[in-house]
Amino acid sequence: MSTLNDVAEWIAEQLPALIEKYDVPAAAVAVLANGDVVDAAAGVLHKGTGVEATTDSIFQIGSITKLWTSTLVMQLVDEGKVDLDKPIRTYLPEFRIADEDEAAIITTRMLLSHTAGFEGDIFTDTGVGDDCIEKYLGVLHDVPQLFPAGEQFSYNNAGFCVLGRLVEVLRGKTYDECLREHLFAPLGLTHAAASPYEAIMFRAAMGHVELEPGTGFQPAPVWALARSNSPAGAMLAMRSRDLLKFAEMHLNDGRTADGTQVLAPGTAARMHQPEVDLPYLGVMGDSWGLGFELFDTAGGSIVGHDGSTIGQNAFLRMVPSSGVAVALLANGGDAISLYHDIVGHVLAELTDTELPQLPVPPENPARIDAGRYVGTYSAQVADLTVSQEDDGRIWLVQTPKGLFEELGEKPQRRELVHYRGDSLINVEPEQGMHIPHAFVGDDGEGHALYLHIGRAVRRAGA
């Protein structure tokens, strides 16, 4: 097994070549082992300006923010201010969705574990004022319930905005203030920003996007998503080393390196335990805890989360049994392949675990009748239409709607083949991934009720 210094030398040598290989403008990596941290950075933060990345550069961490929101909620649980199994309306009586009966029984635990069941990709901009998250709750009044609360997993950004509002109400402060006072300060962070107004004080990365395949990655048209989605991952940015201070606290039973107790003893471990199993998706964990994504491997459990915002990607992996954590932050390109090369190497060298292999299509996929899968599955951000041609080939057309249509994303058509069981997989990789598409449930007429791609997307009209 390698030492941390060996790993640091490997990263310093390989990172520049790997970001070039995968067309990633810039990346930053930090590794924690036995209380020590090494970090590295390479590339440019903005192709338009050519500003170089350094280890003090900050990148958006996207949905890794959900771990920070979960931690803020669990601090309230530690203090006896929140009961995970009481309806969220106990604390937020104004919480409404389209299904009144379901709204009345959704709990904080369900929101933390993505089992609340209502549609979750709601990115409505409610302004930049301190009341934007409060206003966001009003946006949810017409959001449909996809399945009974607690029944299954479906990744839910909106649910974490609700949790952010829970924190605001019980603390009497804005979400950003809660981050600064209850996490930034006790963790001793020096390069972290809860808003663009703070990020501009640092060497900040710009996201890069490819609006049409083959056109190359260019600076994104905007820096961040709406502030109303901050608790889900729209704003928070930091350097990789500071992200590992958060990870170290979680690995050290809620304590910082200097002994400050951020979470009560035992709470971090509770957050890392499974709450719900996932359908096999290959690119996500095997189960989900209280905010955390969980991977089961032969060498032990890996916990963490990924983040994806407008042209930026982030990855955090922790191995509790080894006290090792690694953070990778990137601002465009094939970040998934970069993640597998770098994080995979680090974990293999410093722990007994290995990253799960990414799924790939079978060499000779079975020809199947896709009648159970054919149809349109609809969400607020996109329609997914599955069809089968006379020659037996299966196609999926993804038509962006709402925010993503406004950002200039174009419809995409990709071929799917049978993967295993009730799932198909895309033939050509998308951003470095062959994504399994699991078909779940029954609409009563022999068709799948949901197309599950991390989100349970319900069949239109069912």
Residue 141 included in any domain? yes
pLDDT at 409 over 80: no
Q: What is the pTM of this model?
A: 0.94
User: pLDDT-based confidence at 341, cuts 50/70/90?
Assistant: very high
Residue 364 included in any domain? no
pLDDT at 159 over 70: yes
- Same-domain check for residues 278 and 223: yes
Write down the mean pLDDT value for the chain: 95
- Same-domain check for residues 303 and 451: no
Percent of the chain at pLDDT > 70 equals 99
Whether 230 is catalytic? no
**Where a domain ends, among 306, 329, 357?**
357
User: pLDDT-based confidence at 404, cuts 50/70/90?
Assistant: confident
pLDDT at 1 over 70: no
Domain at 262, CATH number:
3.40.710.10
Average pLDDT for 288-304: 95
Residue 369 included in any domain? no
Residues 6+ apart with CB under 8 A from 128: 227
- Same-domain check for residues 94 and 142: yes
- Same-domain check for residues 282 and 412: no
- Same-domain check for residues 80 and 206: yes
CA distances from 166 to 80, 89, 90, 246 (A): 14, 10, 10, 21
d(CA 395, CA 73): 42
Q: Is 133 exposed, middle or buried (0-12, 13-18, 19+ CB in 10 A)?
A: buried
Domain count, the chain: 2
**pLDDT of 415-448, one tens digit each?**
999 999 999 999 998 877 898 999 999 999 999 9
What confidence score (pLDDT) does residue 298 get?
87
- From 2, 57, 63, 308, active-site residue: 63
Please give the single-letter amino acid code of residue 282.
G
- Same-domain check for residues 101 and 227: yes
Domain at 440, CATH number:
2.40.128
User: pLDDT-based confidence at 133, cuts 50/70/90?
Assistant: very high
User: pLDDT-based confidence at 388, cuts 50/70/90?
Assistant: very high
User: pLDDT-based confidence at 2, cuts 50/70/90?
Assistant: confident
What is the residue range of 453's domain? 375-458
- Same-domain check for residues 325 and 401: no
- Same-domain check for residues 66 and 210: yes
What confidence score (pLDDT) does residue 212 get?
72
- Same-domain check for residues 348 and 418: no
**Where a domain ends, among 328, 357, 386?**
357
User: pLDDT-based confidence at 170, cuts 50/70/90?
Assistant: very high
What confidence score (pLDDT) does residue 248 get?
98
What confidence score (pLDDT) does residue 99 get?
97
**Where a domain ends, among 357, 389, 406?**
357
> Taking the CB of residue 394, how many other CB atoms lie within 10 A of it?
23
**pLDDT of 343-361, one tens digit each?**
999 999 999 999 988 899 9
Give just the sign of the alpha carbon dihedral 12, 18, 23, 28.
Answer: negative
What confidence score (pLDDT) does residue 277 get?
94
pLDDT at 275 over 80: yes
**pLDDT of 5-28, one tens digit each?**
999 999 999 999 999 999 999 999
| DSSP-assigned states of every residue in 275-330 | SEE----SSS-SEE-SS-EEEEETTEEEEEEEEE-SS-EEEEEEETTTTEEEEEEE
| DSSP-assigned states of every residue in 195-230 | SHHHHTTS-BPPPEE-SSTTS--EE-S-S---GGGG
